[in-house]
Amino acid sequence: MAHGKTSYVCLPCRASYKQPHDADRDRTCPRCTRPLVHVGSAFAPPRRRDTAAWRTLSVLLNAGVRFHKSCCGGPGYRPRSLREVRERMTYARRSGEPFARSLVRHDLPSGPPRG
């Protein structure tokens, strides 16, 4: 049975490509020849002109957050704006929680973090 395609992204080119997933093969961007980042099959790319969305995506990918489907649907919550990213990064610094975990929280706990 053939596997479905998954998304790969080139952050400098702001480009997304759907390709069959092969863990043993490194992908390169056809535009700039830099390595592509495997982002997962539930990824929906922002428009190329939306620089804020690509900066948000860059923070997520550099923190290790990906867009893989779960058994119950999509990848779960992902911040869509730089404001949401800043809020979650601030929460992570104050609480000591890993950045990747804070970035995928749908709601931040209210009140001061417990430590």
Domain contains 115? no
Q: Rounded distance, CA 73 to CA 22, Å?
A: 23
Domain contains 113? no
pLDDT band at 1 (very low <50, low <70, confident <90, very high): very low
Across the range 60-74, mean pLDDT stands at 81
Using a 10 angstrom Cβ sphere, with 0-12 exposed, 13-18 middle and 19 or more buried, the burial of residue 91 is middle
Domain contains 68? yes
Q: Which domain holds residue 79?
A: 5-103
Domain contains 111? no
Domain contains 81? yes
* Whole-number average pLDDT of the chain: 87
Q: What's the confidence (pLDDT) of residue 21?
A: 83
pLDDT band at 71 (very low <50, low <70, confident <90, very high): low
- Structural domain count, the chain: 1
Domain contains 108? no
Q: Rounded distance, CA 44 to CA 68, Å?
A: 11
Q: Rounded distance, CA 97 to CA 91, Å?
A: 8
